[in-house]
Chains A and B, each alone.
Chain A
Amino acid sequence: MITGTSPLIQLAGITKVFVTGSLHYEVLKNINLQVQRGEYVALTGASGSGKSTLLNIMGCLDVPTSGHYYLESDEVSTKTDTELAHIRNRFFGFVFQSFNLLGRYTVAENVALPMVYGGLGRKERLEKAKVLLARVGLEKFTGHYPAELSGGMQQRVAIARALANNPAVLFADEPTGNLDSKTGMEIITLFGQLNMDGTTLIVVTHDARVAQHARRMLVLADGSIMTDQTSRMDVSVSSGEAPA
């Protein structure tokens, strides 16, 4: 399946139209994009620019109105709901702005959750959850409940959960949005480490610091990719962002 030469993600002519009554709203217009393995992509743009929609489509949480999406050369846009669920489980990890941990489960059980749908036994997945928690520096908190943890720690649990099935891509939607700047920085540092370890990252963010750490930056405006720069970003780029 992994050929090495083909891009991990390839989008060709992706559009997304939202229909509300008689209103047609084109959120994404003819997006063409390739993401290689090991990349660290920051996706920025004003709110309403379509960056979250693009992330959702790449993460198979949403389907494009038209266009083609190849994940490791495999056409994804025609797959069924169950197949997409399987892809999300096997290929992707998600980190959200509001951590979305389940309060009735312990930290370790939260991390193990994707492995439940991956078909791993309870004992195995809790073992693996411990290893993942160690990776985000929370090995001491396996038996705690999310409510007992600080926001930054909760987000690290969420990241550990996103890594549960060794995803090909880790998607993050405003991962630092609910955190103060210090803990936000910890998360950014963690992302940097994960990328160094080989994880592909695609992060939607308003946070200029995330953009600085990313090795590639995409700026969306009005549903089109305005800028696509593959080098360390200049801080001034973030000034192009309109405050939400």
Chain B
Amino acid sequence: MNPFEHVRIALDALAASKVRAFLTMLGVIIGVASVIMLVAIGEGAKTYIRTELMGIGTNLLIIVPGKTETSGAGHMPSSIRKLTISDMRALEKRTTLIRVMAAAVVSNAAVKYQNRLRNVQIVGTDQNFEAVRNLHAEIGAFISRSDVDARRRVAVLGRTVRTELFGETNPLGRMIKIGETKFRVIGIMEKKGVTLGMDIDDHVFIPVETAQEIFDQDGLTNILAQVINESEIERAKEQIRLMLTERHGEEDFTVVSQQAMLATMQGILSTFTYVLGGIASISLLVGGIGIMNIMLVSVRERTREIGLRKAIGASKRDILLQFIIESVALSVVGGIIGILFGAGVAYGAKAIFPVIPVDVTAWSVTMAFTFAFLVGAFFGIYPAVKAARLNPIEALRYE
């Protein structure tokens, strides 16, 4: 018998009770839609993190003091041995794979202009910061080499700091106070916005050695390095590791690549996505049980039909296929509606709230669809076997 006939028989049976078929599908629709929506959010977050993290610069290596167990964004120092500017100078002289390096000292301080006060993050750095971080002064100038060397008290303001402290006034050349120390404003940064929860515009940049002086530190918070070739990031990382280990006598620092940070964060988000998808899949499973339930009722209701079909020449296989196709059709159609509905809600939410990162991926659609199909096939087996095994005589006598 032509398999197409089985499909037609199954679809005819479903069409005969449309409301029931729809209600049965609802479980699968909700299950698949939630898988699609939740995975879309998880994947959207991953894409968001990637763009944001790549936005802080390209081919970036970050050297932080203290040895951490694993690579990644967070670090837990086990021994405090400082990273110094001379460490960086030594690396600059010897590395062959690094284009440029920048030192950074990061601290919090109150910034004051006349009677306005604002607590901001102060970044002590040098002239290479612009290139490494892909952050530029838009008005005036960024910190120069001579500013660093002469330990000048000059500051470059982020956009938010500028607006909050000066309003409409032109801040260039004006004096501000960072803590108790006076600084001259020499530049304004371009507008950058929030990256990874950090408002770059709410920073003040000063020369690194000046920062060490006013914060009374001789170490660095981190050293940023830009690798020349993307393909040599790992080699550059190793080179730095060997050179610094040699200088320090032990490996008391960590070199983290942007990729590694990305990988860690993506890893966390993937787990998050899988967990959400997994929870949503449970509802898909419940939908499958709903299908099985209805199919069992349907087999019982159609006992005489099954008996008749057997009498006029349907084999066990024919009956089995008829009922399995019915349950698969329920789950597959439910799956398709669920995918459309889930993707619709996800993109609808994005259209209304563009902040929500949403990304409906092919793999989640494929997975949800396949899973729906398997649910239908699996939960359809038992009712179908039951139908196929019916004795035609008893089935025909069934009241």
Binding site for B on A (CB under 8 A): 56, 59, 61-62, 81-82, 85-86, 88-90, 93-94, 96, 100, 102, 104-105, 113-114, 116-119, 122, 161, 164-165
Contacts and interface: CB of A to CB of B under 8 A. Distances in A.
Q: Range of interface residues on chain B?
A: 20 to 34
A88 B309 CA distance: 10
A132 to B, nearest CB: 13
B197 interface: no
Given A82-B317, A89-B312, A161-B312, 19 more contacts: A61-B310, A61-B393, A82-B315, A82-B316, A85-B316, A86-B315, A88-B313, A100-B304, A104-B15, A105-B12, A114-B312, A114-B313, A116-B1, A116-B5, A117-B1, A117-B312, A117-B318, A119-B2, A122-B8
B311 A94 contact: yes
B305 interface: yes
Interface of B: 1-2, 5, 8-9, 12-13, 15-16, 304-305, 307-318, 392-393, 396
Contacts of A105: 12
A81 B315 contact: yes
A117 B322 CA distance: 12
A102 B311 CA distance: 14
A102 B393 contact: no
A85 B12 contact: no
11 contacts: A56-B393, A81-B315, A86-B313, A88-B310, A89-B313, A93-B312, A104-B12, A104-B15, A105-B12, A116-B9, A117-B314
Contacts of B312: 88-89, 93-94, 113-114, 117, 161, 164
A3 B374 CA distance: 51
Nearest to B304: A100
A164 B311 CA distance: 13
Nearest to B392: A61
Contacts of B5: 116
Contacts of A161: 312
Contacts of A114: 312-313
A172 B276 CA distance: 60
A82 B313 CA distance: 9
B151 to A, nearest CB: 91
A102 B308 contact: yes
A85 B313 contact: yes
A61 B311 contact: yes
Among A56, A116, A161, residue most surrounded by chain B Cβ atoms (within 10 Å)? A116
Nearest to A110: B308
Nearest to B315: A85
Nearest to A96: B396
Contacts of A96: 308, 396
A118 B315 CA distance: 11
B315 A119 contact: no
A93 to B, nearest CB: 8
A78 B308 CA distance: 23
A122 B8 CA distance: 10
Given A104-B16, A116-B1, A119-B1, A85 B396 contact: no
A113 B314 CA distance: 10
Nearest to A101: B308
Contacts of A104: 12-13, 15-16
A45 to B, nearest CB: 18
A117 B13 CA distance: 16
Nearest to B312: A114
User: Top 7 A-B pairs ranked by shortest CB distance?
Assistant: A89-B313, A85-B315, A117-B313, A104-B16, A114-B312, A82-B315, A100-B308
Contacts of A61: 310-311, 392-393
Nearest to B308: A100
